């Protein structure tokens, strides 16, 4: 609550800080909204860097900010206007603000130019570590998210992946065949291709059959999971697909 003339004005904090080492990221937005510091072991900090000393520096920076708000805004804006490369927009914004605030913190402490260069280089190195780690988390998360249904996946496979025989005589040397307009595949190449797709890593042949049936994309001509296409010219049955 602050007073403005004869009126009392309410102002609410619109920022928050969460420090955690045990948060399990379940969405891309969780990963990109955070500043992540990947640690493999306990930090070894100088004895002089006590909580009280850190608080003193923050208090001094806060006091400096009150009288240098325009400088802070200009510095942060400069970092925000830099190219974000391949970073997600939210990650670019977060780290641009961090770099801008860090630069102003050094400014508020009258840090010698040599030390500014050294400390800025260290921050850049850590930012690169953090963004690399976040990209790894995003890639791992994306690999578990389905991007399309099985019908679309098999259509791509038919065009770019599966080796299809032109007739039954050569079926045993291929992944499958187009039989009366229907895509017929062997179990092994079908499972292998489907399990390579994001979100389908743990699929079984039964689950594939069920989902294709659910979307009316499966033609069953034999038993529940395999189809006998007929006989070759030598009277030997074609491989079951």
- Going by pLDDT thresholds of 50, 70 and 90, the confidence category of residue 47 is confident
Residue 191: predicted pLDDT: 92
Q: How confident is the model at residue 40 (pLDDT cuts 50, 70, 90)?
A: confident
CB-based contact 226:187 (threshold 8 Å): yes
pLDDT at 8 over 80: no
Indicate the range of 125-129, 194-198, 206-210, 222-226 predicted with least confidence. Answer: 222-226
pLDDT recorded at residue 231: 47
What per-residue confidence (pLDDT) applies to 223? 52
pLDDT score at 238: 47
Nearest to 123 by CA among 99, 147, 106: 99
Least trusted range by pLDDT, from 6-10, 45-49, 124-128, 201-205: 6-10
The confidence score (pLDDT) of residue 18 equals: 61
Residue 218 banded pLDDT, cuts 50, 70, 90: confident
pLDDT digits (tens, 9 = 90+) for 84-110: 788 899 999 999 999 999 999 999 999
Interval 216-230 mean pLDDT: 59
| Structure confidence at residue 232 (pLDDT) | 46
CA distances from 97 to 70, 75, 77, 100, 161 (A): 14, 9, 8, 5, 45
Residue 3 vs residue 152, higher pLDDT? 152
> What pLDDT digit, counting tens, does each position of 148-182 carry?
888 888 888 888 899 988 888 888 889 888 887 88
- Whether residue 44 is predicted with pLDDT greater than 60 in this model: the reply is yes
**pLDDT at position 215:** 84
On average, the pLDDT of the chain sits at: 83
What would the DSSP string read from start to end of 147-162?
-S-HHHHHHHHHHHT-
Phi and psi for 111 in degrees, rounded to 5?
A: -70, 130
Average pLDDT on 73-85 reads 91
The Cα–Cα gap between 50 and 28 comes to 35
| Residue 83: predicted pLDDT | 85
DSSP string, the chain: -EEETTEEE-----------S-----SHHHHHTS-----SS-----TT--HHHHHHHHHHHHHHHHH-HHHHHHHHHHHHTS--TTS-HHHHHHHHHHHHHHHHHHHHTT--HHHHHHHHHHHHHHHHHHHHHHHHHHHHHHTTS--S-HHHHHHHHHHHT--EESSGGGGGGSSEEEETTEEEE-HHHHHHHHHTSTT-TT--HHHHHHHHHHTT----SSSSS-----B-TTSPBPPP-
CA-angle at 64, arms to 33 and 19, nearest 5°: 30
């Amino acid at each position: 609550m602050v007073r403005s003339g004869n009126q009392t004005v309410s102002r609410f904090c619109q920022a928050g800080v969460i420090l955690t080492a045990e948060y399990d990221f379940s969405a891309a937005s969780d990963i990109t909204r955070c500043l992540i510091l990947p640690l493999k072991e306990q930090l070894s900090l100088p004895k002089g860097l006590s909580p009280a000393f850190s608080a003193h520096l923050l208090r001094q920076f806060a006091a400096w900010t009150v009288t240098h708000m325009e400088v802070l805004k200009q510095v942060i804006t400069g970092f925000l206007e830099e190219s974000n490369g391949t970073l997600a927009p939210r990650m670019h914004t977060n780290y641009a603000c961090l770099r801008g605030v860090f630069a102003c913190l050094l400014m508020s402490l009258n840090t010698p130019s040599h030390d500014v260069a050294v400390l800025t280089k260290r921050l850049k190195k850590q930012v690169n570590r953090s963004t690399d780690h976040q990209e790894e988390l995003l890639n791992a998360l994306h690999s578990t998210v389905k991007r399309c249904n099985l019908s679309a996946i098999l259509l791509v496979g038919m065009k770019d992946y599966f080796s299809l025989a032109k007739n039954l005589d050569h079926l045993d040397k291929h992944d499958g065949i187009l039989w009366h307009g229907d895509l017929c595949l062997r179990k092994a190449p079908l499972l292998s291709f489907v399990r390579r797709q994001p979100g389908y890593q743990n699929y079984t042949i039964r689950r594939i059959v069920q989902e294709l049936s659910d979307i009316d994309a499966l033609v069953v001509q034999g038993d529940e999971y395999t189809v006998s296409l007929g006989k070759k010219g030598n009277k030997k049955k074609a491989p079951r697909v």
